[in-house]
Chain A
Amino acid sequence: MTDDGETRQPRDETRAEADIPAPAAGPVAAATGAATATVPNGARRAALSEGRRSERRLGWLLCLPAAVIMVVVTIYPIVYAILLSLQRADLRFPNDNKWVGLTNYVTVLTNSFWWHAFAITMIVTVISVAVELVLGMALAMVMHRTLLGRGVVRTLALIPYGIVTVVAAYGWRYAWTPGYGYLANVLSDNSAPLTQQAPAVGIIILAEIWKTTPFMALLLLAGLAIVPDDLQRAASMDGASTWQRFTQVTLPLMKPAILVALLFRTLDAVRIYDNIYVLTNGAQGTSSLSILTYHNLIGGLNLGIGSTMSILMFITVAIIAFIFIKGFGTAAPGSDNAGRR
């Protein structure tokens, strides 16, 4: 890491200087150039590294509190979870703790409940993210292009984002509960969709889509704002239809924004918990990985199995993130210094 930083630094610095517009940049750059030419190499390096060293120290110092908290609260527990996952650790039988190696992993990975929850999680993730992408794009277009009442539209669209997931989920639950709900009555007489697997999963997906489409739309809106109007106009003069302009001009330019939105939402959907907890609590085979893990831990008090599931979930998320970042390269946030000044 240090090496990496060392080698990259000079390049960054030149870029930083070049990026400063304004008159200030010119003379400064020129002065640095002149210094390079006249001052002997060794002396210059010593002088620079003094300033650079203090900058480095300050950088580390400023990052320290945040880094310490993040490490203590995540890295330490994760190490602890790995250790727990290799033990038989069941709070109901506290005297029976012992090392069991990978037995817990075998137990979980050969269990149909795990794979069922895995399948449900993936179904919910794929369908909701796909629908959200389309709906979110439409919503972003409305937010971007609308002429009258732009503020009102944006405010309204943000409401689902602000609402607590659990609250929204209760709303959907009672909307679909026979007797209480306006939607259950619409469907047919006294059907109870939340008590059957497929309709229940459908409602979970619906609740997820309603809640998070605005978030997706906001990320896409940022991408839309990047697309220059001139380009659209030029394309339209060349005779491109609205659809052609959308697919040939807008979409390619928005690629980074789309990929970021997809990555964020996919990882978020894989962790789905609140919605399912409220809507079915995992009944009728609608458990997600998070629900299953939670039930084993808090319900079953089986820390060993719970930890094993935690680690496996972490690995699942890491694999998805890896595929996204590898597949999309520089589009991932933080993967490059684009936009740095």
Chain B
Amino acid sequence: MATTTRQRTGWSIANVVVAIYALIPVLWLLSLSLKDPSTFTDGHFIPRKWTFDNYVSIFQVGGFLRPLVNSIGIGLISTLVAIVFGTFAAYAIARLQFPGKRLMLGASLLIAMFPQVSLVTPMFQIERQIGLFNTWPGLILPYITFALPLTIYTLSAFLREIPWELEKAAKMDGATPFQAFRQVIVPLAMPGVITTAILAFIMCWNDFVFAISLTSSNRARTAPAAISFFTGASQFEDPVGSIMAAAVVITIPIIIFVLIFQRRIVSGLTSGAVKG
């Protein structure tokens, strides 16, 4: 009994340490974003004068809505395309025998490891020549490319775990192959597909290198890149409040995602990356 109590205390302390580790920097962002500009430089962790002006101003003056819409749109389209094509490939890799399978996996791995900056130089030039520079497709294409290896690896790990004999059983019970697939396999595969979609979306949402080098205005610039271009009211003013408010705004969706899908993200990351 004594050991269990001690163990329980020990783990509880560990939990608190983890909580502090994860939350302090996030609370700091929140605190700065809520500070009145006159109290920015007081260095206090908890704001002395609260205000929502920073949030109002990024949308009214800063034009943050457009980058936010860009981020959501580009992220969703890239995720969707990557998931559809990635699922095809993952199904083939998990279920079918064909030469070139290892080549496909190897190429995906290679691309996952690619230094994005290495692609920036040629893509900058190619996109300017074919008119994709500073457009949605100009960002969607590289995002799909980097999301594909992730979806292929994670999903093929998921698909391997599905008991495929069920499909055979359904067919024996008189289902057509499509019915068997649609009613047995799809529901089983869905959680994996959703997890993978979340991971892919987080990746696109997080990107910065492509977002700042392949865009030149708010036409296609995504939220993280737009934040880095915020300017203060005057040349000498640091736009702390705006940056922090925007930072909190683009953090909220991710925190909601994490809260809802925590279990799935954990299993998705762990099964995909290690067993793959």
Footprint of B on A, CB under 8 Å?
1-2, 4-6, 9, 12-13, 20, 22, 24, 52, 55-56, 58-60, 62-63, 65-67, 69-71, 73-74, 76-78, 80-81, 84, 139, 142, 145-149, 151-168, 170-172, 174-175, 179-182, 184-185, 210, 214-215, 218-219, 221-223, 225, 256-257, 260-261, 264, 267, 270-271, 273-274, 277-278, 289-290, 293-294, 297-298, 303, 306-307, 309-311, 313-314, 317, 321, 332-334, 338-341
Tell me the interface secondary structure of chain B in the complex.
helix
| Interface presence of B19 (CB below 8 A) | yes
Contacts of B122 in A (CB 8 A): 77-78, 80-81, 84, 307, 310
* B18 beta carbon closer than 8 Å to chain A: yes
Query: How many residues of B are in contact with the other chain, CB < 8 A?
Result: 105
List chain B positions with a Cβ less than 8 A from chain A: 7-8, 11-12, 14-15, 18-19, 21-23, 25-26, 28-29, 32, 40-41, 43-45, 85-86, 88-89, 91-94, 96-111, 113-126, 141-142, 144-145, 148-149, 152-153, 157, 160, 164-165, 168, 202, 205-206, 208-209, 212-213, 223-224, 227-228, 240, 243-244, 247, 250-251, 254-255, 257-259, 262-263, 265-266, 269-271, 273-276
Assess whether B88 is in contact with A9, with CB atoms less than 8 Å apart: no
Check A306–B121 contact: CB distance below 8 A. Answer: yes
Output the least CB separation between A250 and chain B (Å): 15
Asked whether A74 lies within 8 Å of B114 as measured between CB atoms, the reply is yes
Q: A163 and B254: CB pair below 8 A?
A: yes
Give the Cβ gap from A329 to chain B, nearest Cβ, in Å. 15
Q: Kindly identify which residue among B14, B100, B111, B275 contacts A146, using a CB–CB cutoff of 8 Å.
A: B14
A218 CA to B266 CA in the complex, in Å?
7
Known: A146-B14, A167-B227, A307-B121. A159 touches B99 (CB 8 A): no
Query: Is the Cβ of B273 less than 8 Å from the Cβ of A185?
Result: no
Residues on B with C-beta less than 8 A from A160 are: 22, 25
Residues from chain B with Cβ under 8 Å of A156 in the complex: 18-19, 22-23
> Across the interface, which residues of B come within 8 angstroms of A151, CB to CB?
262-263
With A20-B165, A69-B148, A73-B145 in contact, do A63 and B92 touch (Cβ < 8 Å)? yes
Residues of A within 8 A of B164 (CB): 341
Contact A1 B99 (CB under 8 A): yes
Contacts of B94 in A (CB 8 A): 340
